């Protein structure tokens, strides 16, 4: 049976406590020879002298020595290391691997009755290993088997040797001045140590499928500034670049500025990556195969294939998504103050709906724009909504941004909430189409001239809660200085305009004797919510997402049920003049509000709301939106509005005809048409030049314009000679003027209100 060096000599003394030195140069740690020409002149080393002082032991005591071939893990398993000792101090030199340490612990637990161990490194620093560790191993067979298994596994933490012309290798070391990774080069005079960087671990090899299977090396280190643990994904093709090392320094990893050594670090990272676990790298937050990535990179749950996830592009304000309280604290200090305030409840449920659209079938993302007078309490809605996921105030973003900035912000909040403040600040340079793009969730197609191909099109599902003093359409009309500007119906059913009716419940501030006026009550309540939502935040979203992961089927069932119920309520209140066939657009939005009802009912354990207040609140908000949007088809309504505006603006440029005679002529030389005055307004009509009218009707196709005018009985058709078909245009009557065309559109006058 193999024994450690000095086994018999040490055990003959019968000491209750002895010392074991493990490492390839363990003997030299004990004794050295100052005269290199005469190796017989041995002398205790300085390290041994210091160690004996630390443990208060005589320097003449002989230690157990474990070195050379005895360090093989398979040999250690059956090795006689100690015998009758009650305590053992172990010195592990730097070259002892973790699996070798595991083998030694397992051996001592199996083959000895040692009760106490003290583990030191070569600098006599006590390591974080419990003194009763061997006793615990003996009592826990499963734990002991794990230690034995680790002793047989390949040591993934031991740096891979990087061969150079001088047989150099990189290892972790501590020379008393610097700790970290050192380049060790052996020559005739001994071993030279060159410090390379702080210690870091290569923890994985990542692949970003969305970007064309880009490969990354994953490293983790502690920032030398604040000790924060940093995980970084480095493109494998850029490991050796100066930009990579600059970025790592900026993140808190100290690296030697001697550039000739950087190639050693790059090779070290690359070689360690090969044997590391696989990671999935993504560039946007949200749902990823069953797991949810918070915008700050935090992972909730795990992917279906159990693969670890990493968010590469974290927003600059990622720290604002932290959790600051318990759910009970948020409920007591924030959520309960939503009760009695329709718009606050609406905003809170809208926030909770954000992660639902990614997992529930046919649930589109959309936006809500709450508008009203400044200081009316709109910001209170924003603060409480933001507090679901993070800091109530600081997470709010401004519409004062570039187009790219807005898109990037939406992508960074994929499957999450984005609160935008004050639409008044939007720049004319952004363009009106930004809203359609934001809610379409697809980036503009962009080319790469240098590669003769297009860039990858990024997508997102982001719920946007906006506020401002004016509605979306009026605000854009003012910004883009277009009097006839009309938002497209597709935009108006994605960004929902709702007029803010104010706060109705100030809770305990309503009875506060210090608040004598409505203004003071409102101000005190708003300030209170602003403070509390910035103190208690971030917990509701995490609880809700965890619930969603476990209840996707239930949410889908509830969504279908609430949609049917909500649509029935919508039909019950629609004006009788509106045909069911014209409810496609408004019905689409009704489904969005129904989704908020579903979210509200399923999240009662988080918000504390009741079914009744959820249903009533959301339906009241829907009715506010519908009354402003208008019941029926929006394009048709916009066409009629454009027609009436055209008539109003051009009535002075029409030939006024009465009793088949022209009684007044227009000043303008442009031919617009005729106004035929009859005995009553209902019998009077216009005949307008089709070309001019169509040009003034906006971007609608001619077919759509004609269909809408006919449906609203604003266009009078003419029977053809065959009396079986009808013509949209009517022939101008014979008058003493020359018209550019023979026919025009016969239009009825708008009904006077």
Cα separation of the two ends of the chain: 110
Contact 460, 408 (CB under 8 A): no
Give me the pLDDT at residue 167, please. 46
Where do the domains of the chain lie? 7-152, 169-282, 320-550, 634-748
Give me the pLDDT at residue 37, please. 52
Residues in contact with 80: Cβ distance below 8 Å, sequence separation at least 6, in sequence order: 1, 2, 3, 4, 7, 111
Residues in contact with 639: Cβ distance below 8 Å, sequence separation at least 6, in sequence order: 697, 698, 700, 704, 705, 708, 709
Q: What is the pTM of this model?
A: 0.69
Question: Model confidence over 599-656: pLDDT tens digits?
Answer: 999 999 999 999 999 999 999 999 999 988 888 777 788 888 888 888 888 888 899 9
Question: Model confidence over 416-442: pLDDT tens digits?
Answer: 999 999 988 888 878 767 888 888 888
Kind and range of the H or E run holding 434: helix 434-440
Query: Over the range 659-694, which residues count as b (16 or more CB within 10 Å of their CB) and which as e?
Result: eeeeeeebeeeebbbbbbbeeeeeeebbbbbbebbb
Which residue has 């050295």 as its token pair?
32
Q: How far is CA 372 from the centre of its chain?
A: 30
CATH architecture of 320-550: 3-Layer(aba) Sandwich (3.40)
- Which residues share a beta bridge with 117? 88
Nearest to 101 by CA among 141, 73, 75, 63: 73
Report the C-alpha gap between 726 and 230 in whole angstroms: 75
Question: Model confidence over 233-242: pLDDT tens digits?
Answer: 999 999 999 9
Question: Model confidence over 462-480: pLDDT tens digits?
Answer: 999 999 998 888 887 777 6
3-state percent helix, strand, coil for the chain, nearest multiple of 5: 40, 20, 40
Nearest to 709 by CA among 744, 734, 678: 744
Nearest to 309 by CA among 286, 275, 328: 286
Which is more confident, 359 or 722? 359
Nearest to 525 by CA among 730, 380, 676: 380
The tokens for 79 are: 């090795």
pLDDT of 704 > 80? The answer is: yes
pLDDT band, residue 350 (cuts 50/70/90): very high
């Amino acid at each position: 049976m193999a024994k450690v060096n000095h086994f018999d000599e040490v055990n003959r003394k019968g000491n209750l406590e002895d010392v074991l030195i493990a490492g390839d140069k363990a003997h030299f740690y004990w004794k050295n020879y100052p005269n290199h020409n005469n190796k017989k002149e041995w002398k205790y080393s300085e390290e041994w002298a210091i160690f004996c002082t630390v443990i208060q032991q005589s320097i003449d005591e002989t230690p157990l020595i474990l070195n050379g071939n005895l360090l093989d893990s398979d040999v250690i398993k059956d090795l006689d290391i100690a015998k009758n000792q009650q305590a053992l101090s172990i010195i592990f030199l730097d070259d002892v691997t973790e699996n070798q340490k595991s083998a030694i612990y397992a051996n001592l637990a199996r083959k000895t009755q040692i009760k106490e161990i003290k583990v030191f490194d070569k600098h006599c620093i006590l390591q974080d290993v419990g003194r009763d560790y061997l006793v615990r191993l003996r009592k826990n067979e499963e734990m002991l088997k794990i230690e034995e298994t680790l002793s047989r596994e390949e040591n993934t933490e031991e740096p891979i040797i990087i061969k150079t012309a001088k047989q150099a290798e990189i290892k972790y070391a501590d020379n008393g001045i610097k700790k970290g990774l050192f380049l060790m080069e052996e020559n005739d005079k001994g071993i030279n140590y060159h410090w390379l960087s702080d210690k870091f671990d290569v923890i994985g090899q990542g692949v970003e499928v969305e970007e064309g299977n880009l490969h990354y090396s994953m490293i983790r280190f502690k920032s030398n500034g604040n000790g924060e643990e940093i995980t970084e994904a480095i493109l494998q093709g850029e490991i050796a670049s100066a930009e990579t090392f600059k970025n790592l320094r900026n993140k808190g990893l100290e690296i030697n500025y001697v550039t000739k050594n950087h190639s050693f670090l790059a090779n070290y990272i690359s070689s360690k990556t090969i044997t590391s676990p696989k990671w999935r790298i993504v560039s946007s937050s949200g749902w990823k195969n069953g797991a949810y990535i918070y915008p700050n990179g935090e992972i909730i749950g795990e992917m279906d294939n159990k693969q670890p996830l990493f968010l590469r592009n974290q927003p600059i304000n990622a720290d604002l998504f932290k959790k600051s309280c318990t759910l009970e604290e948020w409920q007591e200090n924030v959520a309960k103050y939503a009760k009695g305030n329709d718009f606050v409840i609406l905003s809170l449920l809208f926030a909770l709906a954000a992660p639902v659209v990614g997992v529930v079938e046919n649930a589109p993302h959309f936006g809500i724009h709450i508008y009203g007078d400044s200081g009316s309490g709109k910001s209170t809605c924003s603060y409480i909504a933001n507090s679901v996921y993070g800091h109530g105030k600081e997470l709010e973003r401004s519409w004062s941004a570039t187009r790219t900035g807005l898109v990037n912000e939406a992508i960074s909040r994929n499957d999450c909430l984005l609160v935008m403040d004050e639409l008044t600040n939007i720049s004319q340079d952004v363009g009106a189409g930004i809203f359609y793009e934001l809610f379409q969730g697809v980036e503009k197609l962009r080319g790469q001239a240098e590669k003769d191909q297009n860039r990858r099109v990024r997508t997102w599902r982001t719920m946007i809660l906006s506020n401002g003093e004016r509605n979306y359409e009026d605000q854009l009309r003012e910004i883009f200085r277009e009097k006839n500007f009309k938002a497209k119906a597709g935009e108006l059913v994605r960004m929902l305009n709702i007029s803010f009716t104010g706060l109705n419940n100030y809770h305990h501030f309503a009875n506060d004797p210090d608040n004598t006026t409505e203004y003071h009550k409102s101000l005190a309540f708003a300030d209170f919510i602003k403070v509390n939502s910035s103190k208690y935040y971030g917990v509701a979203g995490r609880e809700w997402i965890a619930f969603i992961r476990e209840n996707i089927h239930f949410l889908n069932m509830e969504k279908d049920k609430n949609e049917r119920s909500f649509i029935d309520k919508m039909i019950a209140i629609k004006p009788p003049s509106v045909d069911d066939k014209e409810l496609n657009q408004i019905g689409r939005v009704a489904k969005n509000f129904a989704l908020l009802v579903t979210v509200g009912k399923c999240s009662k354990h988080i918000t504390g709301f009741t079914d009744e207040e959820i249903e009533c609140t959301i339906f009241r908000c829907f009715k506010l939106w519908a009354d402003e949007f208008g019941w029926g088809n929006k394009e048709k309504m916009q066409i009629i509005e454009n027609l009436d505006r055209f008539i109003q603006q051009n009535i002075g440029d029409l030939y006024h005809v009465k009793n088949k005679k022209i009684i007044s002529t227009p000043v303008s030389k442009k031919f617009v048409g005729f106004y035929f005055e009859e005995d009553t307004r209902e019998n009077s009509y216009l005949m307008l030049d089709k070309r001019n009218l169509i040009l003034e009707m906006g971007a609608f196709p001619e077919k759509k314009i004609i269909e809408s005018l006919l449906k609203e009985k604003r266009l009078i058709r003419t029977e053809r000679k065959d009396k079986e078909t009808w013509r949209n245009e009517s022939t101008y009557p014979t008058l003493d003027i020359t018209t550019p065309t023979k026919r025009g559109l016969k239009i009825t006058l708008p009904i006077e209100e």
